[in-house]
Amino acid sequence: MNFLKLTLHPLGALLGLSLIFSCSDKSDVNWPVYLGDYGFFNDTAGTEINKDNVSDLQVAWTYQGGKADPENRSQIQCNPLIVDGVLYGSTASLRFIALNAATGELIWTYNPFDSDFQNFGMGVNRGLIFWESPDKQERRLYFAAGPYLHCVNADDGKLVSSFAEGGKLSLNTGLDRDVEDRFVLSNTPGVIFEDKIIIGTRVDETSGAAPGHIRAFNIHTGERAWIFHTIPHPGEYGHDTWPEEAWKEIGGANAWTGMALDPKRGYVFVPTGSASYDFYGADRHGQNLFANSVLALNARTGERIWHFQTIHHDIWDRDLPAPPNLGTITIDGQQRDVVIQITKMGFIYVFDRDTGEPVFPVEEVPAPESDMPGEMAWKTQPVPAVMPPFIRQQYHRDQVTDISGEAQEYVLDVLSRTRYGDRFLPPTEQGGIVFPGFDGGGEWGGAAFNPKTRTLFVNANEIPWIMTMVEVKDDATTNVGRGAGLYTQFCAGCHGADRQGGDFMGKVPSLVGLKDRYDQDGFASTIKNGRGAMPAFAWLRDYQVEDLAAYLLELEEKTTTAARDQGHNYDNPKKYTTTGYIKFKDHEGYPAIKPPWGTLSAIDIENAEIKWQVPFGEHEELSRRGLPVTGTENYGGPAITSNGLLFIAASQDEKFRVFDQENGKILFETELPAAGYATPSIYTVDGRQFVVIACGGGKLGTKSGDSYVAFALP
């Protein structure tokens, strides 16, 4: 595999499709699949922008889709496609658009909802899938919005009625379990191989979640072509790594990050996340295959070729956060095709593409035991022994922030009452430091791989979190008491045990004083349908919603004898959950660890060494105090070119930057209208090269935006 330099890309020939064509006009270069290439090289052949002139970049066009949330809950995480001069993307209100890629002019728009989109809990969209028939007479786009996979005509944005049910396929069906009322989405696009679209899903992370099985559907009819059970059924490989009945009740082990495709081999490489519930696994004793695994599947049949599990019996939410990169490297004089997987832990695993054998040694290191009642933490965890991690691995007193004496004193006081140390420290009722943090290390923006220099580029977070476990208790004799138990089990993880809100997937609002904002009918509708950043809890029974209302709306306490559903583990009162997703910060709200808090790294994969690492992002108010650049939290990934440039937004400071791949030097930076928590796309139209970034903001306390901004040379 080489850079996209030909009019007919070799992937297109192998697929028998034209979706990877550069275009009949050799001066045009497309960005035809999510992150640029099914191997996720994130590279483009365009070379008009180079190190000598990149400082001259200017805004070529801006498109504003409107309807950014005034309370800063909306985002745009889309990595748009560009095919034959047309850009396909999504907006802050989750409408799908086609734009003239040279001018930003709107061609069409498609609204997948019956009315204006308000339920940001239904997820963001990170990209679309483009398909074109071999005779070029039919062009389609596939994307998920809400609980459906939509198929529209790429030329006019109209539903293709022959696909599934009038152009829409329910993601809740075909999972070999009745999950019709559960939370099943697909934020990140899958891949197309031959006549199949292969997708993963996002599911909720509470007990009783839907399973994250991987499915392939016929691209013409929507019929299920195959399914791979990530929680194996009886008789399937890996079934013995779970309790006997787990396949009926346990959820998660889902592929929410996207996947990579090797069409020559007919392999699809799929990273998976943790099993549900994330932090307490007493109902899922065992190694838990195929959660937290890199899977190589036969793209035609779904058959497992090989797998590697990166976390055994996950109790830290260590989902594999991004699709793997495919590449070829030379080891001991031999060329080897490899799969490169980054992790939230900051690890890099490199596997032989055919066998799954680690190219560099991986050791099973001892891990601490859990003191949680009923929990059985796995005794060892796999850690790369040669390939260096790209973030720090442990949080100790010598890592406490030093940006001021006051900050250090505040953090040391909190630390004196909290467990810390081992990177595999199990969750505890005392409260412990989770580092690397819940959001990485590596994140969903992924990494970019330069196949010529064999260098991997990855941005990362270095933020500690505090996790405290609490037993789910309720007084089953009163509506308020039962509501308190339901709140602890299903709501406290995001809104906090004190109902003050949290930091999970953006700022989560406080529920204190909810009685002044909702009546019982409005409350019930929100619980059942979702709103803001909250997903729908349609599967809760009516009496459970009434109990939650009694607790959260501070209604009159009443004795009740309503029967409990003892048959479902998510109603089992003997459970533990967290008091919330809480970042460990100092008294001013900055991370409780020494900077850098965000980094950008270049890793030489062949020689297993870090070439360079720089702080990524800036808190200008701290720079004005005289502090060195600290880096910031960041979401979204890099895109690279064959002539040595790296384009990235992602940072909390709402800037767009271009780095030199050779040394990490900033060659260009500019402010965006809102933070670009997405991965840029690079393309050429009529010989002019563009770089476009979605500016949706809405995370890390930044304002929500509604625009795409394209840069080009004058």
Predicted local distance difference test score (pLDDT) of residue 522: 79
Predicted local distance difference test score (pLDDT) of residue 594: 98
DSSP labels for 292-329? TEEEEEETTT--EEEEEESSSS-SS-----SPPEEEEE
| Torsion-angle region of 136 (φ positive above 0: left; ψ -120 to 50: alpha; else: beta) | left
pLDDT at 490 over 90: no
Average pLDDT over residues 633-642: 96
Predicted local distance difference test score (pLDDT) of residue 495: 84
Predicted local distance difference test score (pLDDT) of residue 45: 58
User: What is residue 450's three-state secondary structure?
Assistant: strand
Question: Which strands sit side by side in the sheet containing 86-90, from one edge to the other?
Answer: 81-83, 86-90, 96-100, 106-110
| Torsion-angle region of 700 (φ positive above 0: left; ψ -120 to 50: alpha; else: beta) | left
Class of domain 473-573: mainly alpha
Average pLDDT over residues 646-667: 98
- Closest-CA residue to 21 (of 126, 129, 128, 131): 131
Helix ranges (DSSP H) in 496-541: 520-529
Measured in degrees and rounded to the nearest 5, phi and psi for residue 674 equal -155, 160
> 254-258, 543-547, 589-593: which has the minimum mean pLDDT?
543-547
Predicted local distance difference test score (pLDDT) of residue 516: 84
- Closest-CA residue to 64 (of 703, 712, 695): 695
The residue ranking higher by pLDDT, 334 or 123, is 334
- Closest-CA residue to 43 (of 337, 347, 456, 612): 456
- What share of the chain in percent tops pLDDT 90? 75
Q: How confident is the model at residue 505 (pLDDT cuts 50, 70, 90)?
A: low
CA distance 426 to 467: 10
- Closest-CA residue to 687 (of 124, 106, 134, 102): 102
Provide the whole-model pTM. 0.90
pLDDT at 686 over 80: yes
| Torsion-angle region of 628 (φ positive above 0: left; ψ -120 to 50: alpha; else: beta) | beta
Predicted local distance difference test score (pLDDT) of residue 19: 33
Spell out a b/e string for 21-59, using b for 16 or more CB atoms within 10 Å of the CB, else e.
bbbeeeebbbbbbbbbbbbbbbbbbbbbbebeebeebee
Joined tokens for residue 241:
């790594």
Predicted local distance difference test score (pLDDT) of residue 62: 98
Q: How confident is the model at residue 547 (pLDDT cuts 50, 70, 90)?
A: confident
Question: Which strands sit side by side in the sheet containing 432-434, from one edge to the other?
Answer: 432-434, 465-467, 582-583
Q: How confident is the model at residue 7 (pLDDT cuts 50, 70, 90)?
A: very low
CA distance 6 to 632: 38
* pLDDT tens profile 222-232: 999 999 999 99
Check: CB of residue 473 under 8 Å from CB of residue 466.
no
User: What is residue 67's three-state secondary structure?
Assistant: coil
pLDDT at 2 over 50: no
Joined tokens for residue 324:
């793997």
CA distance 245 to 588: 48
Joined tokens for residue 129:
């899938």
Measured in degrees and rounded to the nearest 5, phi and psi for residue 486 equal -65, -40
Domain ranges of the chain: 25-104+451-461+601-714, 473-573
Joined tokens for residue 222:
């929507």
Q: How confident is the model at residue 42 (pLDDT cuts 50, 70, 90)?
A: low
Check: CB of residue 365 under 8 Å from CB of residue 381.
yes
Check: CB of residue 315 under 8 Å from CB of residue 374.
no
